């Protein structure tokens, strides 16, 4: 059985250390917590304006759900800016993968909105008075947070999707792996025309 | 040594009745252990499918409270595919002709499955 902690550990092991969120990234966010918290309201409203103005992302939500979702994102922003980046924090991010399966939030939706957050910070931190160097350094820390969180959520979606299939069918995970291995060469062949080299 | 013993069980099974056309023993995670399958059958796929059928059958039987799984039978226009538990490690898959005398086939398969389980 796949556990949330297994997924977390596998993701951290898979990511080269300098691509992962680090202690110094956490420290940089803490040092700028005042300005970051001040950006919170704009970030939350801009985020959901973007999500609700696009058909595919808007379709994830039910009527009148926006205030509840804004509250969740506000809580996440405050917790992220205030820290700490403990095991509980990363477990929470991994748990989000399960929620995304339940709600039909795809990985492209999640990753594109992370990109939106980084763009927003890049623009607004300069407006808020940070130098270009300070802004770049802080956005790089958020970039590593984005990579780490996206990896946790993306892998959580994939692993728990398989886990649900394993539970429903009684297949061993090694059997699923074998079935994929049996079929992958055919799929590569079927799609070979898309190779550029 | 065990491979030879498993192959011998399949040979005996296939020759025990003209109704049995082919057979294979596969692991629970879908690997071929021994087989006497026709050349037009892709062994790796049949192995994975057999293990999958058995797992799904066991899961379904449990869900609807039908007790321990005896066997799974697929009936097609050209004959039958029978999948049977052969102990904790293996699955026995048999292809039988469409006009097969199933009572005898079931008996032979049951005996072969017990022999496989003893060896493994």
Supply the ipTM of this predicted assembly. 0.85
HSE (CB half, 13 Å, CA atoms) of A171?
Answer: 22
pLDDT in tens, B62-84: 999 999 998 999 999 999 999 99
The answer as to CATH 3.40.605.10 being correct for domain A4-170 is no
Whether B48 and A169 lie within 8 Å, measured CB to CB: no
B29, A172: Cβ pair inside 8 Å?
yes
Burial of A138 (0-12, 13-18, 19+ CB in 10 A): buried
**Inter-chain CB proximity A171 and B44 less than 8 Å:** no
Instruction: List, as one string, the DSSP characters of B6-49.
Output: HHHHHHHHHHH-TTEEEEEEEETTS-EEEEE--TTS-HHHHHHH
Q: In this complex, which of B47, B55, B62 lies closest to A172 when CB atoms are compared?
A: B55
- The answer to whether B90 and B27 have CB atoms below 8 angstroms apart is yes
Given the structure tokens 């820390």, which residue do they identify?
Answer: A141
Integer Cα distance of B84 and B86 in angstroms: 6
- Domains annotated for chain B, with CATH where assigned, are 2-119 (3.30.450.30)
Residues of B in contact with A169 (CB under 8 A): 52, 55-56, 59
Contacts of A68 (CB under 8 A, 6+ apart): none
Nearest CA in chain A to B52: A171
Torsion sign across C-alpha atoms A36, A42, A48, A51: negative
Contacts of A171 in chain B (CB under 8 A): 51-52, 55-56
Could you tell me how many CB contacts below 8 A there are between chain A and chain B?
41
For the segment A107-148, what is each residue's pLDDT rounded down to a tens digit?
A: 999 999 999 999 999 999 999 999 999 999 999 999 999 999
DSSP character string of A87-148: HHHHHHHHHHHHHHHHHT--HHHHHHHHHHHHHHHHHHHHHTT--HHHHHHHHHHHHHHHHH
Q: Where are the domains of chain A?
A: 4-170
pLDDT in tens, chain A (197 residues): 889 999 999 999 999 999 999 999 999 999 999 999 999 999 999 999 999 999 999 999 998 999 999 999 999 999 999 999 999 999 999 999 999 999 999 999 999 999 999 999 999 999 999 999 999 999 999 999 999 999 999 999 999 999 999 999 999 999 999 999 999 999 999 999 999 97
d(C-alpha A76, C-alpha A197), whole Å: 43
Model pTM score: 0.88
């Amino acid at each position: 059985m796949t556990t949330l902690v297994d997924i977390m550990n596998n993701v951290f092991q898979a990511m080269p250390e300098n691509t992962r969120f680090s202690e110094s990234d956490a420290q940089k966010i803490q040092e700028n917590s005042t300005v970051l918290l001040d950006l919170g309201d704009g970030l939350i409203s801009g985020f959901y304006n973007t999500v609700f103005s696009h058909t595919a992302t808007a379709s994830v939500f039910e009527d009148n759900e926006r205030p509840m979702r804004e509250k969740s994102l506000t809580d996440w922003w405050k917790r992220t800016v205030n820290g700490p980046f403990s095991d509980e924090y990363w477990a929470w991010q991994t748990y989000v993968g399960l929620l995304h399966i339940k709600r039909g939030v795809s990985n492209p939706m999640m990753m594109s909105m992370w990109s939106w957050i980084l763009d927003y910070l890049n623009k607004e931190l300069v407006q808020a008075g940070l130098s270009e160097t300070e802004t770049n350094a802080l956005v790089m820390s958020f970039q590593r947070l984005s990579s780490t969180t996206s990896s946790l959520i993306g892998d959580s979606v994939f692993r728990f999707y398989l886990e649900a299939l394993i539970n429903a069918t009684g297949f061993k995970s090694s059997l699923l792996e074998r079935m994929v291995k049996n079929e992958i060469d055919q799929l590569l062949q079927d799609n070979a025309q898309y190779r550029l080299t | 040594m065990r491979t030879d013993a498993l192959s011998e069980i399949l040979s005996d099974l296939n020759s025990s009745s003209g109704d049995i056309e082919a057979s294979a023993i596969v692991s629970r995670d879908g690997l071929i252990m021994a087989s006497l399958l026709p050349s037009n059958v892709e062994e790796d796929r049949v192995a994975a499918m057999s293990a999958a059928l058995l797992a799904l059958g066991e899961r379904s039987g449990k869900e609807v409270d039908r007790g321990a799984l005896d066997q799974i039978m697929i009936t097609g226009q050209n004959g039958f595919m029978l999948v049977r538990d052969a102990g904790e490690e293996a699955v026995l898959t048999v292809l039988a002709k469409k006009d097969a005398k199933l009572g005898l086939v079931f008996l032979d398969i049951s005996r072969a499955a017990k022999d496989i389980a003893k060896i493994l």
